[in-house]
Amino acid sequence: MRTVIGVMGSGHPLDAASEARARALGRLIAEAGFVLLTGGRAAGVMEACSAGAKEAGGLVVGVLPDTDAASASRHLDVAIRTGMGDARNVINVLSSDVVIALPGGAGTLSEVAHALKAGKPVIVLGWDPGPALRAAGRVLDAASPEEALALAREVLGR
């Protein structure tokens, strides 16, 4: 079984710097031989990170909220279609051996919370989830995609 790194973050359009950061993170994950898992949509962090992983020849799995793949990023290898709306956020984090969270809205925050609830450390890249989420589990801070990957390796022990 391959090791899966889940990347969560905004589903809204990204500014150029955020887009580049998510893309670089996807590339690093793929180059390190990990599977990238995202929420699967052709939007925001999901799209940029998947594009980066695909550029580097990685395997990309998306877990979609919908019953079909109409909203899917074209960079996915496998589209898991759940038809469960935001309940798929729970699947995203359970299916990830480690979770990296980029800035996002309520959906991303729900994923951070679910990951912590499941006892999984969350690596936050470039933002602060605040004291309430930090008190709910183990949150690690990364300032760059490189540092996020290094922390992920440390958490995974490889």
Binding site for a second copy (CB under 8 A): 1-2, 4, 35, 59, 61, 63, 67-69, 72, 74, 76-87, 89-91, 94-95, 105-107, 109-110, 113-114, 116-118, 127-133, 135-137
Q: Is 32 left (phi over 0), alpha (psi -120 to 50) or beta?
A: alpha
Q: How far apart are CA 58 and CA 50, in angstroms?
A: 9
Q: How far apart are CA 35 and CA 104, in angstroms?
A: 22
Residue 16 makes CB contacts below 8 A (sequence gap 6+) with none
For residues 53 and 36, the answer to whether their CB atoms sit within 8 Å is: yes
Nearer residue to a second copy within complex by CB, 66 or 150: 66
3-class secondary-structure state, position 95: coil
Give least dist CB 115 to a second copy, A: 8
Give least dist CB 10 to a second copy, A: 11
Give least dist CB 153 to a second copy, A: 19
* Angle CA 116–6–38, to nearest 5: 120
Give least dist CB 158 to a second copy, A: 16
Q: Is 147 left (phi over 0), alpha (psi -120 to 50) or beta?
A: alpha
Give least dist CB 145 to a second copy, A: 21
